[in-house]
A and B are shown apart, each in its own frame.
Chain A
Amino acid sequence: MRIAIVDESAVRASIIEDGLSEFDDYETFVIAQRDGLLAQIAKIEPDIVLMDLGNPSRDVLEEYFAVSRVLDRPIAMFVDESDDEAITSSIDAGVSAYVVDGLAAHRIKPLLDLAVKRFNAFARLQTELSEAKGKLAARESIDKAKRILMDSRGISEPEAYAELRRKAMESSKRIATIAEAVVTAHELMGDQS
Chain B
Amino acid sequence: MTEQLTIGFLPLVDACLPILAKEHGFAEEEGVDVSFIRDASWATVLDRLLYGHSDAAHLVAPLAIATTLGRGRPAQPISVPFLLGLNGNAITLRPELSATVGTRGQMGAPAAVGERLRKEAVLAAKSGRKLRFGVVHRYSSHNYILRYWLAACGIKPDQDVEIVTVAPPFVVDALGNGALDGVCVGEPYNSYAVDRGLGDIVLTTSQIWRRGVEKVLALREPVMVEKQGAVEALIRAMRKAGAHFIDPANWEENAHILARADYLDGDPKPIQRALSDRLVLSQGQPPEVFSDFMFQHSEAANFPWISQARWLYSQMLRWDSMEYDPSEAEAATRVFRPDIYRSAIRGTGDDLPAANAKVEGSVQAPLGVGAEEGSITLKNNVFFDGRAFDPDELETYVQHDN
Do the two chains belong together in a single complex? yes
By a beta-carbon cutoff of 8 Å, the part of chain A in contact with chain B is 34, 53-60, 62-63, 66, 77, 81-82, 87-88, 91-92, 96
For B51, give the chain A residue with the smallest CB separation: A91
Of B42, B51, B73, B74, the residue contacting A59 (CB under 8 A) is: B42
What per-residue 1/0 map shows which CB atoms of B69-104 lie under 8 Å from chain A? Answer: 000111000000000000000000000000000000
For B135, give the chain A residue with the smallest CB separation: A63
List 9 A-B residue pairs with CB atoms under 8 Å apart, sorted by A's residue number.
Answer: A53-B47, A53-B48, A54-B40, A59-B42, A60-B164, A60-B165, A82-B74, A88-B51, A91-B51
Evaluate contact between A62 and B48: CB separation under 8 angstroms.
no
Q: Do A87 and B51 form a contact, CB below 8 Å, given A59-B136, A62-B72, A66-B138?
A: yes
Instruction: Kindly list chain A residues whose C-beta atoms are within 8 Å of the C-beta of B52.
Output: 88
Interface centre among A54, A57, A92 (most CB of B within 10 A): A57
CB distance from B260 to the nearest CB of A (A): 19
20 extra interface residue pairs, beta carbon distance < 8 Å, beyond A59-B41, A59-B165, A82-B74: A34-B170, A53-B48, A54-B40, A55-B41, A56-B40, A56-B41, A56-B167, A56-B170, A57-B41, A58-B43, A59-B42, A60-B166, A60-B167, A63-B137, A66-B72, A87-B51, A88-B52, A91-B53, A92-B51, A96-B43
CB distance from A95 to the nearest CB of B (A): 11
CB distance from A69 to the nearest CB of B (A): 9
Evaluate contact between A53 and B39: CB separation under 8 angstroms.
yes
Evaluate contact between A59 and B167: CB separation under 8 angstroms.
yes
Instruction: Kindly list chain B residues whose C-beta atoms are within 8 Å of the C-beta of A92.
Output: 51
B44 within 8 A of A: yes
CA distance A59 to B170 in the complex (A): 12
Instruction: Kindly list chain A residues whose C-beta atoms are within 8 Å of the C-beta of B136.
Output: 59
B366 within 8 A of A: no
Evaluate contact between A81 and B169: CB separation under 8 angstroms.
no
For A38, give the chain B residue with the smallest CB separation: B164
CB distance from A56 to the nearest CB of B (A): 4
Interface centre among B40, B52, B137 (most CB of A within 10 A): B40
Interface centre among B41, B48, B164, B166 (most CB of A within 10 A): B41
Instruction: Kindly list chain A residues whose C-beta atoms are within 8 Å of the C-beta of B44.
Output: 53-54, 58, 96
Instruction: Kindly list chain B residues whose C-beta atoms are within 8 Å of the C-beta of A77.
Output: 73
* B residues 163-184 in Cβ contact with A at 8 Å: 164-170
For B38, give the chain A residue with the smallest CB separation: A54
Evaluate contact between B43 and A62: CB separation under 8 angstroms.
yes
For B166, give the chain A residue with the smallest CB separation: A60
Of B72, B74, B169, the residue contacting A56 (CB under 8 A) is: B169
For B167, give the chain A residue with the smallest CB separation: A56
For B10, give the chain A residue with the smallest CB separation: A56
For B43, give the chain A residue with the smallest CB separation: A58
* B residues 141-171 in Cβ contact with A at 8 Å: 164-170
What per-residue 1/0 map shows which CB atoms of B17-48 lie under 8 Å from chain A? Answer: 00000000000000000000001111110011
Q: Do A57 and B72 form a contact, CB below 8 Å, given A91-B51, A91-B53?
A: no
CB distance from B327 to the nearest CB of A (A): 21
Instruction: Kindly list chain A residues whose C-beta atoms are within 8 Å of the C-beta of B51.
Output: 87-88, 91-92
CA distance A54 to B138 in the complex (A): 19
CA distance A57 to B136 in the complex (A): 10
For B42, give the chain A residue with the smallest CB separation: A59
Instruction: Kindly list chain B residues whose C-beta atoms are within 8 Å of the C-beta of A59.
Output: 41-43, 136-138, 165, 167
Instruction: Kindly list chain B residues whose C-beta atoms are within 8 Å of the C-beta of A60.
Output: 164-167
CA distance A136 to B74 in the complex (A): 47
Instruction: Kindly list chain A residues whose C-beta atoms are within 8 Å of the C-beta of B72.
Output: 62, 66
Instruction: Kindly list chain B residues whose C-beta atoms are within 8 Å of the C-beta of A87.
Output: 51
CA distance A162 to B138 in the complex (A): 62
Evaluate contact between B43 and A91: CB separation under 8 angstroms.
no
For A36, give the chain B residue with the smallest CB separation: B179
CB distance from B67 to the nearest CB of A (A): 12
Of B41, B43, B47, B74, the residue contacting A81 (CB under 8 A) is: B74
For A81, give the chain B residue with the smallest CB separation: B74
CA distance A34 to B53 in the complex (A): 26
CB distance from A60 to the nearest CB of B (A): 5
CB distance from A78 to the nearest CB of B (A): 9
Evaluate contact between A63 and B40: CB separation under 8 angstroms.
no
Instruction: Kindly list chain B residues whose C-beta atoms are within 8 Å of the C-beta of A88.
Output: 51-52
CB distance from B137 to the nearest CB of A (A): 5
Evaluate contact between A96 and B47: CB separation under 8 angstroms.
yes
* B residues 332-346 in Cβ contact with A at 8 Å: none
Top 4 nearest A-B pairs (CB, nearest first) are A56-B167, A63-B165, A58-B43, A56-B40
CA distance A34 to B42 in the complex (A): 17
Q: Do A91 and B167 form a contact, CB below 8 Å, given A58-B41, A59-B41?
A: no
Instruction: Kindly list chain B residues whose C-beta atoms are within 8 Å of the C-beta of A34.
Output: 170
CA distance A64 to B164 in the complex (A): 9
Instruction: Kindly list chain A residues whose C-beta atoms are within 8 Å of the C-beta of B165.
Output: 59-60, 62-63
Interface centre among A55, A63, A96 (most CB of B within 10 A): A63
CA distance A56 to B167 in the complex (A): 6
Of B42, B48, B166, B169, the residue contacting A91 (CB under 8 A) is: B48
For A80, give the chain B residue with the smallest CB separation: B74
